[in-house]
Structures are given as C-alpha cells and as structure tokens.
Amino acid sequence: MRKRSLTALISLSLLSACSGGNPEGPPEFGNVSVHDPSVIKVEDTYYVFGSHLASAKSKDLMSWTQISSGVTDDNVLIPNVTEELSETLSWAQSDTLWAPDVIQLADGKFYMYYDACKGDSPLSALGIAVADEIEGPYKNKGIILKSGMSGIGDDGEVYDATEKPNVVDPDVFFDKDGKLWMVYGSYSGGIFILELDPATGFPLEGQGYGKKLLGGNHARIEGPYMLYSPETDYYYLFLSYGGLDANGGYNIRVARSKHPAGPFEDSEGKAMLDAQGTPGVLFDDPAYAPYGVKLMGNYQFVNTAEEAAGSGTGYVSPGHNSAYYDETSGQYYLIFHTRFPGLGEQHEVRVHQMFMNEAGWPVVAPHRYGGEKIGKYTAKDVTGAYMLVNHGKEITAELAESQLVELNSDGTISGAVTGTWSLSKDHMAKLTIEGSEYSGVFLREWNEAASSEVMTFTALSAEGVAVWGSHMSPEKK
C-alpha cells in the first residue's frame, strides 16, 4: 500500500457529525518520542519513522507504541546497522542517522530513504534500504546522493554549500499522475526535488541534485514534506524554519503549487525561490521569515483566574512534520514532534487535524487530535470567552502567549483585541482582528490539559499569519 493510502480511519465511523465531538468519551493518548516523524499507513496502522532510527505505530493517531530507538546493532529496523550502513556513517563522520522516509513501491516492498550528516557541516549521505515488511529488517541498497565534499561534487561541479543542498530530510511521494519524486534538503543551498524511478526507487539519471525549490545561503529551512490535496488540486510543501532545539524557534510553514516541482508560492503570492539567506551572513532569519504561511510556532494557552487549574498548555519548537490525507474521510492530519514550555529538550510526537479554509490553505486545529470530527455549529455554540493565540510570522524562541477575548452574540470581538466574527456553512469561520481578515473553521475538540471538550477556531490571514482560539473551560468543582 502506498503512502497516503485511501484506507479510512476506523474510529471515524463512531464519531458524531452533528456535535463534532467524540461520543465515545475522553480520548486515550499514548505518547512516544520520535524526532522528525514521517508517516506511512499500512493496512489499518499508522507508522512514523524518525531520526536516530526511532519509530512508533498507532491505529488511531492518538495512542502510540514505540517500536525502536537508537542507532545500535540490536535495532529491529536495521539489525547490525553500524556495519550495514558503515559507508554512510563513515562518509558523514557520524554515529547516528537523521530524518528518514519510508514508502511502499509497486513491488510491495518498503523503501527506507535514510541519511546521515556530520551536523556542523553539510557532509552528508542519503541512501536506500529495503524490507519485505514495514517493521523491517531493512537491507541496504546503497547511497544515492552525497554532499559536503571538498572539491568536485556529484554533478561534476565544485561543491558550494551556499548553493548546493545538504542531502538530508528526504520525503518520497507519488504525484497525482503516478510519478515518483523526492523532495529533500536542510539549510545550506536549500530545498531540492528529484524525480525517481518508480520501479527501483533510485533517481532518474542526469538530474544531479535536481531542481531547487527554495532556500540557499544557509537559510534555516529544512524538513520538507509534500502533500497533494485532490480537494484543491494543489501540492502543499510543508517546511520547518529556525532551529530545532528548545531555544531555536522552530516553526511549521507551508507553500503551494499546482506542480510538485514548483514554482511554489505563499498566500501573498510571493515566490518561494526568493526565500533565501543573505550572501555572507550566516542564518539571517529576518531575510526569509516573511516567506511561507506560518501554521504554528511557540505558543502557550495561559490560565486565567476563571479557568480550571492545569488548563494551560503549549508547544516549544514544533516542527519537522509529515502530513496525511485520508481520501475516504476527507480528513487531513499534521504529524510532528514538539518540545514543551519548561521541559527543556524533552520531545514527543503530536498529531493535529487540519482543514482547508476558503482560500485553499490548511489551517491547524489548536488542540491535539482526539478523535473529533468537524460538525454543524450554531452562533450560540461559538459565542463566549476564548484564549486567543496569534502565531505571527517571526522566527523566534519567544512564546506567543494567549490573550483573553470575547466572541459576542452581536458578531463583535472584544477584550485584548477588537473586531468582528461570523459563522457560515455550518463551521466556516471569518474573523476580522485589528483590521486583518482571517479565514478558517470552528471545531469542537478535546482540551487535554483541561480534561474537557471545548469550542475552538483556527484561521489564517492573507499575509500567512495563523490565529487560534480555545474556549475557556468550565471551572472544575
């Protein structure tokens, strides 16, 4: 079964389309640590594969079970990995592996695109390992790309790290016409795309590093992931900007194109090819921060005196996502790792549902996926006090803290910000906040920290700024 399979979520048939909640009661979550999780669904199970040969699985995108972790010779995915991938680890001068991707090809086998990188330089190698079963064991088929070398590169030219890619962070996908592609890259010369042979999984000859989509001059942009939506007929290129650690300001962005090889644009129509660093300046974040729709960054829902204790929640440096579209249910999911306020470098996998707004851009639900399905809501359902988060466009380690606002019954917004709001087509949201218009959806979902269902909204402006609202939970007695 190919990645982005058509199999519907089993749990969806149990959900109520009217309430938009989960009548089965509170969701049960099982948390795992998989950095840079890349998703594939096989039969009725979702798998994520990540850095350091970590992996996990789930049948419902809520309760996860760890399968593997650590680049050691007893890892079940690639037994004897230090010998099996010795050429890759030696080239990259590394003892670990970075973000992989797994896809099933027509021969029924599973192809893992693995990579290793020195880290403080783009000395990297990317290769393919193949298995008969999704959980392995995977056997090496060889390196397909190298980067970071001194002198002549794979394309016969001198390797220049400001222009050539760092060959890590692969995502391999079929386009709507059945062609196989790999998008990849991190920092250095930018994000690139290559066409692959669907029979072998190897690159078609004569492409070198492929076509550049964006980045360059060591722009802190990495973790590309492509998702096609038959609903909008766009290819959505998800990206992570900033640094991945707790102080790095990691944030998730997206651009779109009608073709997998671009050109990609953001919601303002800006060409993503212009999203690059400044020559001679290392990690010049302000140069590329204006590009791409920012879906999520550091944030925290802050408790108020009226709210239940423990209802505050948030993420630090969420990023390196994958995404999944279920054609049967029409539901979209964003899968990523994140750190948390006050918990340092501890990280876990999180899944949030996504929806397309009226402009054809994905908006992300404010709370983690708890089995909810979007419903039909009335104005009475959505009025009331909300914690509002504005994610902005900056690349910053600062937390965007929530502010208290009121969606009033007369269609106005008051409190920390002012404006107007409206509900249409059962759940579509339109908000005007301080003169900027935001388009998205209302959604009833589970607030894990408050242990209650709440109404939420998620919306985007034409400038690519996301706002989230989470209804204040009733005080627990």
Residues labelled catalytic:
36, 222
Residues 90, 354: Cα–Cα separation, whole Å: 40
Q: Is 349 left (phi over 0), alpha (psi -120 to 50) or beta?
A: beta
| Residue carrying the six token digits 């699985």 | 57
Residues 4, 170: Cα–Cα separation, whole Å: 16
Residues 357, 307: Cα–Cα separation, whole Å: 30
Residues 196, 451: Cα–Cα separation, whole Å: 46
DSSP state of 381: H
Dihedral of CA 129/203/181/364: which sign?
positive
DSSP state of 473: P
Question: What phi and psi values does residue 445 have, to the nearest 5 degrees?
Answer: -150, 175
Question: If we measure between CA atoms, which residue out of 252, 254, 256, 255 comes closest to residue 234?
Answer: 256
Residue 49 and residue 58 in contact, taking contact as beta carbons nearer than 8 Å: no
Measured CA distances, 99 to 105, 322, 434 (Å): 20, 11, 40
Retrieve residue 277's tokens: 């660093």
Retrieve residue 35's tokens: 């950095």
Residues 187, 163: Cα–Cα separation, whole Å: 10
Residue 53 and residue 69 in contact, taking contact as beta carbons nearer than 8 Å: yes
Retrieve residue 416's tokens: 């920390």
| Residue carrying the six token digits 């693995």 | 114
Residues 39, 44: Cα–Cα separation, whole Å: 13
Residue 468 and residue 366 in contact, taking contact as beta carbons nearer than 8 Å: yes
